[in-house]
Amino acid sequence: MRSGVITGGVLVSGLALVAAMPAVAAERQVLPADVVPLHYDVAIMPDAAALSFSGEVGTDVQVATTTGRIVVNAADLVLDSATLDGKTPLTIAIDKAAETATLTAPGMIAPGRHRVTIRWHGAISKFTSGFFALDYDDAAGTKKRMIATKFEPAAARRFMPLWDEPARKASYTLTADVPATDLALSNTPVAKEVTLPGGRKRVTFAKTPKMSSYLLFFASGDLERLSRKDGKVEVGIVTRRGVASRGQEALDTAVQLLPYYNSYFGAEYPIAKLDLIAGPGSGSFSAMENWGAIFFFENALLLDPASITESARQQIYSVVAHEMAHQWFGNLVTMDWWNDLWLNEGFASWMATTATSRFHPEWKPWLGSQIDRAGAMRLDALPGTHPVIQDVASGPAANQAFDGITYGKGEAVIRMLEAYVGAMPFQRGVQAYMAAHAYGNTVNDDLWTSIEAASGQPVAAIAADFLGQAGVPLVNVAGGGPVSQGRFSFDPAATAGRWTLPLTIRPLAGGSGQPWLMTAATTRLPTAAPTLVNAGQAAYARVSYAAPAYAPVLAAFPSLPAADQIGLLSDAWALGQAGKGPAARALELARALPADADPLAWTQALSAIGETTGLEAGTPGDAAWQGWVRATVAAPFARLGWTAKPGESANDAILREALIYTLGRADEPTVLVEAKRRFAGWQRDRASLPAALVDPVLILAGRNADAATFAMFRSAAKAEADPERKAALYAYMAGVRDPALAAEMLTIATGGEAPPARAARLVAQVARVHPDLAWTHALATLPAVAPNLDLRQRFQYLPSVASGSASAARADELHAIAARDFPEGSRRFADQAEAGIRQRARLKQTMLPKVDRWIASSGR
């Protein structure tokens, strides 16, 4: 699954939805092991208009020991009847808190194979978990409804009674009764279709492979499909009717990646079709890797020709590559329990970057992954961080595990280990792992056992250090060769750490890199010459250079490889924030960056600049800071300009977007005037603005909107039938600087005018500019927003609104709400947001004065 922007929600005291998230117990909550499923025959009868459905499932089970009961997962379902072997009635007892149903026989059930048949009915929800509905307007303005499922981590139990745990793998045959004009979809191709009375049809899908319950999928609606055959597999793009052409690039990507993945993993994709399915709207995730039927929200799969940007094109390639990698790593071989979720997500993220590098080396995706890694390191340095491998007590509790550490740190550690053992031995280990565990479940050590056998390197010991303990290694480099390691943290109370750390060192004077495994707390570099530590930046670590060692690094910085420029910028910024290095060192490096440096090096510099801009807003040093930004960023923007040049790189186009926004945010007059001119042309004729400039120009127009411009955006959003274009127009409005218009935008977001599923996201976007205003509004309107929040969003929404604040008082408020209203085990996002707010408050007090003094004395 690809996690989305945190826009989820949380409930204040007294809201009934809190009860839907059970508290985490000290011990793992799993079903009894005496009865296991083998195969499910599922028949469902959805009524999309009434938001209800009924179903019947016949499950073939294996009973290991004599028992009088069978326990399955079921949540928010009404179980109407249950029988054993087609004749023996079973008594049904529901435990809502445990999300289980106990089926008790009148006598004992003998060991062996049996069939359990259950009939039930339930509701189709309006939030994007379990079995849900997506409402939208078609091009003619007609109201439409698509129904679909999303079961990870533990929501299949809201669709049918079953064994809803990743290790309880079974096969499925699904039949659905749907309107005759609908396109129905599941994991496998349609095996049979029968016309029913009343304008309906019965669709039966082919039997699935043996798989985990969270991978089951069903959808139906007024949909269309583009497809192409790739060998034995039909690859398809499925969308709401009328927009399938927007998925052409995603279809091309999937067809390109499928044979590559077959080869890399040494295992053929096992299903006769692979659909990429786009749903309108948004949720707490971007995409879900259902086997053979990957579900995406439209903005993660489709490219709108009216506003295609290079950044969107690359992001969609990456998301498709991530979800397709899951078809092997996660679907074919699945973690045994949710504590090893990183085996799914970290590996899929790494594999996506590997595949993108294979087919689009010009995008330099490994440099982009370095920038993403900095986000994981930031989380890993805050109070309350957690190891990659984490204790998860129940399926619902796994909702808290989908964070930047699981994805970002997981990917970074895999990259480090692949660099350490070599690409070919690593691939051989992965192939052996796939062959040994296909259609089964694994734990963390199984992967390292295979890679150790293939490489002969002590991978397990290194992996244990990085996956089993929280925190970021910090390598301290003094002049003359001494080095020591410790833990980088923003938390003064953080415990010390020590890692088996595979590094590459390279003389600054030139030459090739040398592998170096650092195991001791204090040691010496193999050379006393000025040296770049973590050259190539493959290690998950930060490096701090004392002044004598830093001087030659700064001198060499303009000519270093882009990977090292990015790493040095990232490390300097983080060390300055933590008070472990000069506060302005990252700004010094940004100033030393050549105008024609790699666009991704400039992207890293702009990240530090953007964060400081947010901290400086409204402070006495703000004007001087903005002047420094304009002066520093002028040179790369002068090189790129507003118009794409023949032969420029794709990443130049992305940098142009970021530079326009950065300079516009710094109130650069020439940029604001030109953006205003281009926006005026767009108002007269939308085709007048190149698609690649729509986002930056309209972001600035929304940010600087007066009442008339805001009203224009609002009118355009109301009139727009296309759901994604409508959402984009409201998003431009959400960045407005004018406080009165921002208050109006908050009312639009939560008052029913904007799509209800977008409300949480829009409030969080307003909070980036007006944190206090948005926070007050979010608390006041929470009862209206809460019904549209899915299981994960419920405990993300308020943290996401609060997270942009730099007020310790806001952190205190969030802490009190989470302690009072969030069940134990559901507070991770609140804890992370609280820690981030306190960090920002500290930076305003400690770091900004140093930055201001540096700018006043030497920064210009």
If we measure between CA atoms, which residue out of 686, 708, 707 comes closest to residue 698? 686
> What distance in Å separates the CA atoms of residue 199 and residue 714, rounded to the nearest whole number?
40
Question: Residue 302: helix, strand or coil by DSSP?
Answer: coil
> What distance in Å separates the CA atoms of residue 771 and residue 615, rounded to the nearest whole number?
12
Instruction: Please list, in sequence order, all residues whose beta carbon lies within 8 angstroms of the beta carbon of residue 500, skipping any fewer than 6 positions away.
Output: 458, 461, 462, 465, 517, 518, 519
Q: Which two tokens stand for residue 113?
A: 């194979």
Q: What's the per-residue H, E or C state across 146-171?
A: EEEEECCCCCHHHCCCECCCCCCCEE
At 330, the amino acid letter reads G
Q: Which two tokens stand for residue 510?
A: 């030139």
Dihedral sign, Cα of residue 29, residue 35, residue 39, residue 44? negative
Residue 292 main-chain phi, psi, to 5 deg:
80, -5
The neighbouring-strand residues paired with 118 are: 57, 82
Q: Which two tokens stand for residue 670?
A: 């020439």
**Do 728 and 758 touch, CB atoms closer than 8 A?**
no
**Do 386 and 376 touch, CB atoms closer than 8 A?**
no
> Is residue 323 annotated as a catalytic residue, yes or no?
yes
**Do 838 and 811 touch, CB atoms closer than 8 A?**
yes
Residue 191 main-chain phi, psi, to 5 deg:
-95, -30
> What distance in Å separates the CA atoms of residue 399 and residue 827, rounded to the nearest whole number?
11
> What is the rounded radius of gyration, in angstroms, for the C-alpha atoms of the chain?
27
Residue 316 main-chain phi, psi, to 5 deg:
-65, -40
Counting Cα atoms < 13 Å in the Cβ hemisphere of 761 gives 19
At 517, the amino acid letter reads L
**Do 823 and 18 touch, CB atoms closer than 8 A?**
yes
Cis preceding-peptide flag for 153 (omega within 30 of 0): yes
Residue recorded with tokens 């411009």: 709
> What distance in Å separates the CA atoms of residue 409 and residue 407, rounded to the nearest whole number?
6
- CB 240: neighbour CB atoms within 10 A? 24
- CB 641: neighbour CB atoms within 10 A? 11
- For Cα atoms 358, 364, 365, give the angle at the middle one, nearest 5 degrees: 75
The neighbouring-strand residues paired with 101 are: 72, 94
**Do 290 and 766 touch, CB atoms closer than 8 A?**
no
Q: Which two tokens stand for residue 238?
A: 């499925």
Dihedral sign, Cα of residue 250, residue 206, residue 71, residue 63? negative
> What distance in Å separates the CA atoms of residue 539 and residue 548, rounded to the nearest whole number?
23
> What distance in Å separates the CA atoms of residue 511 and residue 519, rounded to the nearest whole number?
24
Residue 645 main-chain phi, psi, to 5 deg:
-105, 150
Q: Given the residues 99, 152, 323, 411, select the one marked as catalytic.
A: 323
At 521, the amino acid letter reads A
Spacing of C-alpha 534 from chain mean position: 27
Residue recorded with tokens 């009216």: 306
β-strands 333-335, 440-442: how paired? parallel
Catalytic residues: 323
